[in-house]
Structure 1
Amino acid sequence: MMIEAQGLGGVSVAAATLRPLDAIIEEAALDRQAVLNAAHLPGNLLDPDHEGQISLGDYFRLSEQIALAIGDETIHVSARPLMLGTSDFIRDRLRSAKTARDMLDILAASYNVIHGGRYNKVTQAREELCFVMDDSEFPYAIPKDDPFILFSLEALLVYVHVLLRSSSTADAPLPVRSLRTRRKKGGVPSPLADWGVPIVHGARHFELHYDAAIADWPVDPAACPVLSSRTIYGGIARTLDQLGHADAAGGDIVERTAQALRDGLGNQQSVARHLGMSVASLRRRLEERGTRFREIRAATLASEAKLRIDNGQPVAEIAEDLGFSDGRSFARAFRDWTGQSPRQYRGDRRLS
């Protein structure tokens, strides 16, 4: 059976699975509330008694914020930290890929170089093309069978699939045959069960199995929206959000527009493309809700800018993250939104 995994947008993970992140945040002396606010997640998400769930997209968004805050792209899951910029290395190497097999090979080899071991490989046999992650000797900073580690590795399979899916230029959808996980049989099932792809529990490795026919399918990583994002984590999150709203007529169009802006899509054309509609359709649907793109953009970016200033982020970085050409243009916009310059706002907050 081969499946184009449209169900990814509906995958969610229990807050309890993410509890180790709280210890990571505390160990790094980060403000937990600030990190969760930056990811636009509930402030009580990591509380011991919180029983909610978050989407897979929100998991990647939270991972992005922690990685940016601590300067480690493994978010301290590995005993060997990865400096920020690793994503740039991956991005640059992937741009040479011409086929799906090229892309998988480059991903495996690149992460082996980064982590200093042969943890990833690509195999092709019995009509299947497989991406394999062997973590048996990986230097984890927490127990390798912790539910968070198991989920993190399963999420990495999603990461690989979304990168490949977003880069494919083939007319046909990208078929997934199955995936494998080390998660024990008979225990808590993988959250990826909602993906709609057959899952084999109790496997030796984490594996993603495609039909071998896709090996020669063309890819264009240079046009991949995930790879053009500020961070790959953020690009994955946006793509998963889009899958979660595959029916463009569904969902809250105002909140979806605001979320796209928060994730770094700075103009109406890019937001409309992300939401799977024309600029005219986006404009019409917003007007039906009694608002306009310009108003949502101003309100969203003002709120995001205030949050980042409150967290102590330099103005130049905020300007870049929010899509402004320089700090001066951002300062002008901030004054239009709030009646204050960023410096005045920061000073007033310190006095309050």
Structure 2
Amino acid sequence: MADELVSLRPVTSVALLVEYAAGRGLNTSSILRGTGISESRLTEHTGEVMLGQELSVLRNIVSALDDEPGMGFLAGLLCHPPSLGVLGFALLTSPNLRHALEIGLRYADLSFTAAAHTLHDQGAEVRIVRDDQGLPPEIRRFALERDLAAISTIQQDLLATRIPVERVEVPFEAHPVYEMFGAVLGVEDIRFGSPHSALVVRAGVLELPLPQANTASARMYEQQCAELVQRRRSRVGISKQVRQLLVREGGMADQSRIAVALNLSVRTLRRRLAEEGTSFRELSNETLGLLAEELLGAGLTVENVADRLGYSSVSAFTSAFRSWRGLSPGNFARVKRGLAPVGA
């Protein structure tokens, strides 16, 4: 579990939890107390936190709310595809619900859930089975409620209608609040005291096409999801700290400045990074590439992104971006908005 706790997560999940907590009258500083997460981190578009930090945030919220049943559902209603970053775009451009579900489970590290989920085809039914044994017992109910509401909310965003859910199976006892949320989420059959948590739907509904389906875009976003997961899994040592500092500096910081921030000599920093199979140049280029993608995806012009990232000219930025992604920044932005096929 120790290795899992240091795995990287998008800061967006924590930011939404803090937003929810603020709506319940909780103080942000108290929710972040003991987590090592600063309030400024919550607004970083490419910010990351460790799973252990996110679990601490959840623990603080549950403790402040006295683990009141139903509170997790309210938190889950804030979760929408755009908040998932590149994974959200992969879901939106998927050909149908089944593909979107499979992508969501494959790249769960990029989502809001901290539990493991598996898909089981059982004839006319499909079961999404949850395993949250790796989560602290005191936050399991809140986390489960949040995930169920998030799944329902994201599904409605994808299809603009609610698909029928056959039933939901949960391990805890019945409570009147679940009847209300069952109606909100379109679930009539909730089975309490089950050995496992599961959401069950008819197999046929997963074949429904999505209105924003785009094969080329979906393929591009899936590739980006895979690359991002791989980068995060490999950035848990000194390289992770370097990348975080580069992100905070907007990607523009020299090696000596980063070494000072880490209380290391430049020579030691180089050696430590080499031991992790990377280099400062590689991390710097990687960070600049991620920042460029985020800024272009947010709607900034190529000229604005080049200027913000400190390039001497648009042509220099365009050349660098093409070496990262294999296409021009302008075409990347058009593909991300669904206005052009990949490679146009």
TM-score range for the pair, normalised by the shorter chain length: 0.3 to 0.5
Structure holding more helix per residue: 2
- Looking at both structures, which has the greater relative contact order when contacts are Cα pairs under 8 Å and sequence separation is at least 6? 1
With structure 1 as the length reference, what TM-score do the two structures score? 0.38
